[in-house]
Amino acid sequence: MAPPTGNVVDSQSPRLLANQLRWDLTAEQIENMAAELTERTKLVYDRVGSQEQGEVSYENTLKALADVEVEYTVHRNMLDFPQHVSPCKDIRAASTEADKKLSEFDVEMSMRQDVYQRIVWLQEKSESASLKPEAKRYLERLIKLGKRNGLHLPEETQEKIKAIKKKLSVLCIDFNKNLNEDTTYLPFSKEELGGLPEDFLNSLEKTEDGKLKVTLKYPHYFPLLKKCYVPETRRKVEEMFNSRCKEENCLILKELVDLRAQKASLLGFNTHADFVLEMNMAKSSKTVATFLDELAQKLKPLGEKERAVILDLKKKECEKRGLEFDNRINAWDMRYYMNQVEETKYSVDQNLLKEYFPMQVVTTGLLAIYQELLGLTFHLEEKAQVWHEDVQLYTVKDTSSGETIGKFYLDLYPREGKYGHAACFGLQPGCLLPDSSRQISVAAMVANFTKPTPDAPSLLQHDEVETYFHEFGHVMHQLCSQAEFAMFSGTHVERDFVEAPSQMLENWVWEKEPLLRMSRHYKTGNPIPDELLEKLIKSRQANTGLFNLRQIVLAKVDQALHTQTKADPVEVFARLCEEVLGVPATPGTNMPATFGHLAGGYDAQYYGYLWSEVYSMDMFHTRFKQEGIMNCKVGMDYRNCILHPGGSMDASDMLRKFLGREPKQDAFLASKGLKVESNSLPSAC
Ligand SMILES: [Zn+2]
């Protein structure tokens, strides 16, 4: 783990292809390396910050900071990633601790007024006018970030901001750690789990008295809420799920929201949302509010229709099972009847369908599609050093040049203590090294798909296939970007655009040709029957209204907490559930305390999922749907225009290049089953 030497190495250097990451660190090494990393990084900041005004140059200021950022990012990721994936509790704990220390250090460095001053001096020099475009963007970004940290404000204010930022980073880590480490389970008899398939029941651990343990992790929670026909079981699980870490996270959330508002105010913003949104495509909380309100208004009639259908299904089910009918839709009924809509109205039997999606077949098909579409070649590395035996490592080459562009890890199954969602982690940024050679990009996809059992392979639900395709889209964004600076590598684009490339690729799991390539019956080897395939594709429209209204509820909760002081999360969530979704929240629960995004870098930005879908649908329908979804030329255009720049360009410029015109909202609205009116663009376009 040598510090960067700055020596010039020739282009044949193995460093170019090197994956610098290692996963065999002990808890003690993690602690020590975190301390060493901060020490040597600080030396660079000290050196930059002590430059005389006349001496300040691109080399000794901007480039020095960029170079240390590359090394710092790689090592920081290596130290803080194990908290999400290591099978050893003490390593996860050490990694969490390291993350807290490094986050504190990040705050310290981001608040270096002396360093900021040197960058301002550099910008004032004539030399800065001749910088290359990306270096210029880097310079401007550093100044912007400096101002967003209040470095142009009096020292006293800066100290306040610094103290708040430090507290915030610790609170965020704790909030999500509480959720990840939650080991709550509920014991049920087989009868209480009626409706769930055999393979699910067989995969459950047992209590000493023979009951089946249902945890609150996704592979238990979602299938149960969708398939269990015993309402009382669903009620218990839904209530527990939305009460996870209620006490501790409720306190953390309150503090987070208060501190964010205080910081925004010190920096001269009306609200935390406005502070955050300044850097996004949306620019202001008013634009976001308008976007969400208009969409909610448009979707409302659809939601009403869907609720009526669900209520009717519930009435019939209650008659059939001899249950009392309460004439309302409860939170624990939603997924169950939404699933029934798919099964009855669209006749998609998810349990039958998943027999066609064994993990191995999906993985092979998915990887092949991505390789073909983006002009890439993947190789599985045998005996790669990884953090758990389930994990695989692949090398990625550009097919036409044969050049290695990166590597990715796949970590697909749940484990105790592992990160509970599906996500892509950038580990080594693809960017230029101090000697101007290129560092390959390394990323990891972490997910929690159903694990194989001795009797059955891992069979994926169709929505899991969609998640797989989505997250892998982020992996490709990380790998295909060829920015010069680590700050602009991979998915470092505007936060409300970051989902667009992955969302666009989700479309492939709703099209016949790619679906056939990703599926085969796990016993017979037969393809999905045509009829089932047609039904599946049609079912994309199922529950669109309710699903999107729920997304709007979450986005509005997030906006409310970050625009109104003293908003009560439970009250806000309950009110929006009633108003927007028309389904009440379960009394006694606290969904916002389980809403990891609020502490996971999505604060005031959850709307981004819907916002970026506007662009994802536009890209898909304008180019791929017109010119062929497996058309390699469009695939390469996509790689070059959208993935290649990383964050080195504004998203709106990339979009214009790829689309050949300004973006439009039409395809997005049509995908929601809504009538298209002209002039309904998000105002940022
Ligand atoms: Zn995503």
Please, what's the b/e burial string for 240-256 (b: 16 or more CB within 10 A of its CB; e: otherwise)?
bbbbbbbeebeebbbeb
> CA-CA distance, 135 to 648, in Å (whole number)?
9
How far does the centroid of ligand 1 lie from the alpha carbon of residue 470, in Å? 6
Contacts with 474 (C-beta within 8 Å, 6 or more apart), sequence order: 423, 424, 443, 445, 491, 501, 502
Distance 475 CA to ligand 1 centre (A): 10
In sequence order, what are the residues at sequence separation of 6 or more whose Cβ sits closer than 8 angstroms to the Cβ of residue 206? Answer: 212, 213
Beta bridge partners of 186: 214
d(CA 102, CA 77): 10
Q: Where are the alpha helices (DSSP H) in 488-607?
A: 500-506, 512-517, 530-538, 544-561, 569-576
For 268, the 3-state DSSP assignment is coil
DSSP helix/strand/coil, 587: coil
Cα–ligand 1 centroid distance for 423 (angstroms): 7
Q: Residues 2-38: pLDDT tens digits? A: 333 333 333 334 444 577 899 999 999 999 999 999 9
43 alpha carbon – ligand 1 mean position (Å)? 36
- 340 burial (CB, 10 Å; 0-12 / 13-18 / 19+) is buried
DSSP line for 399-463? TTT--EEEEEEEE-S--TTS--S-EEEEEE--EE-TTSPEEPEEEEEE--PPPP-SSS--B--HH
For 117-126, the pLDDT digits (tens) are 999 999 999 8
Report CA(471)–ligand 1 centroid distance (Å).
6
**What's the count of helices (H) and strands (E) in the chain, helices before strands?**
27, 9
**Distance of CA 493 from the midpoint of ligand 1 (Å):** 13
Please report the DSSP string for 603-638 in residue order.
TT-TTHHHHHHHHHHHHIIIIIHHH-TT-HHHHHHH
**CB 469 within 8 Å of CB 508:** yes
Encoded amino acid at 9, one letter? V
* Torsion, Cα of 557, 560, 566, 570 (10° steps): -20
Candidates 343, 471, 499, 613; catalytic one: 471
Cα 540 to middle of ligand 1, angstroms: 19
Query: Is 389 known to be catalytic?
Result: no
Distance between CA 508 and CA 616 in Å, rounded? 12
pTM, two decimals, is 0.87
**Ligand 1 center–CA 506 separation, angstroms:** 10
Task: For residue 229, give every residue at least 6 positions away whose Cβ sits within 8 Å of its Cβ, in sequence order, or none.
Answer: 194, 195, 317, 321, 336
C-alpha distances out from residue 184 to 179, 243, 245, 535, Å: 10, 11, 10, 37
Q: Is 11 exposed, middle or buried (0-12, 13-18, 19+ CB in 10 A)?
A: exposed
Q: Are 669 and 504 in contact (CB under 8 A)?
A: no
pLDDT reported for residue 500: 96
Q: How far is the CA of 557 from the centre of ligand 1 (A)?
A: 20
Q: How far is the CA of 424 from the centre of ligand 1 (A)?
A: 8
Supply the pLDDT for residue 349: 86
What does R_g of the chain's alpha carbons equal in angstroms?
A: 25
Could you tell me the distance, in angstroms and rounded to a whole number, from the CA of residue 498 to the centre of ligand 1? 7
Taking the centre of ligand 1 as the mean of its atom positions, its distance from the CA of residue 422, in whole angstroms, is 8
Distance CA 209, CA 121 (A): 72
Pairing of strands 438-439, 392-398: unpaired
* Cα distance between the two ends of the chain: 45
Residue 676: its pLDDT value, please? 66
Residue 217 contacts by C-beta under 8 Å, 6 or more apart in sequence?
Answer: 414, 420, 448
- DSSP-derived letter for residue 593 is G
pLDDT of res. 15: 45
Instruction: Collect the ranges in the chain with pLDDT lower than 50.
Output: 1-16, 679-685
- The predicted pLDDT at position 630 comes to 96
Phi, psi of 241 (to 5 degrees): -60, -45
Q: What is the DSSP letter of 491?
A: T
Tell me the CA–centroid distance for residue 507 and ligand 1, in Å. Answer: 14
> How many Å lie between the centroid of ligand 1 and the Cα of residue 364?
21
